[in-house]
Amino acid sequence: MIPSFTDLASRIDHTLLRPDATRSQIVQLCAEAASAQFATVCVPPCYVRFAADELRETSVLVCTVVGFPLGYQITKVKFFEAHQALTDGAKELDMVMNIAAFKSGRLEEVEEEIGQLAELCHFKNALLKVIIETALLNEEEIVTACKLCASAGADFVKTSTGFASRGASLADIELMRRSLPSNIRIKAAGGIRTRVAALALLAAGADRLGSSNSLALLEENETPAL
């Protein structure tokens, strides 16, 4: 079933994570999110407090990133980053999994790190999304990463940072949905540019979408393209 405008908007994180993002662009992002009623604005950590202030009289939440975009920061650094973001007003954190440790077979360390951040988020009534960066993983690794995120207490598993060689694909979402328990949600992100692509990702099992082109996803009359 095709979601209504409001339902679709409520599944989107209106995202601006470019390194050259300015304060005035964050003001515009927040105004657009309030008007369209997106789920969150996803902003760089340095703008969390500012965005929370801009959105204080709206229902739009602030989301930010941790260990972004490469994921190989040590746990103490990620924990501090997460703690500061939550103190500044973030209600959702998109944390990059330690892909380097994962690829080295150090799965317990990866799970322990996610578990620490999940516990912190839940203590502060916030949600943790874990970015596994599917562009860097094969199918077996995607399945393993999903199971590890689920057992560590993540609320969502997210496909991509938007800074790797590719973003979310339908195949990623289908595989992730098959690999995750039904209570763990999926966020598709990276390169989602059209309403047709957005609807296909939702139909494949995504619960949330992250896009730096969110307004276009709400447009009804686009040229179909994936």
Ligand X SMILES: O=C[C@H](O)COP(=O)(O)O
Nearer of residues 205 and 210 to ligand X, judged by Cβ: 210
Least distance between ligand X and beta carbon 65 (Å): 7
Which is catalytic among the residues 94, 129, 155, 172? 94
How would DSSP label each residue in 48-98? HHHHHHHTTTSSPEEEEEESTTT--S-HHHHHHHHHHHHHHT-SEEEEEP-
Nearer of residues 189 and 202 to ligand X, judged by Cβ: 189
Under a CB-based contact definition with an 8 Å cutoff, are residues 11 and 199 in contact? no
Nearer of residues 3 and 69 to ligand X, judged by Cβ: 69
Whether 158 is a known active-site residue: answer: yes
Which is catalytic among the residues 78, 91, 129, 187? 187
Least distance between ligand X and beta carbon 162 (Å): 2
Nearer of residues 150 and 217 to ligand X, judged by Cβ: 217
Give the 3-state secondary structure of residue 176: helix
Ranked by CB distance to ligand X, the top (closest) residue is 162
Which is catalytic among the residues 13, 78, 158, 172? 158
Which residue ranges make up the site for ligand X (CB under 6 A)? 15, 17, 42, 161-162, 167, 189-192, 210-213
Q: Token pair of 75, please?
A: 């746990």
Least distance between ligand X and beta carbon 119 (Å): 23
Least distance between ligand X and beta carbon 32 (Å): 14
Distance CA 137, CA 202 (A): 22
Whether 94 is a known active-site residue: answer: yes
Give the 3-state secondary structure of residue 221: coil
Per DSSP, 180 falls in state S
Phi and psi at residue 151, to the nearest 5°: -75, -20
- Catalytically active residues are 94, 158, 187
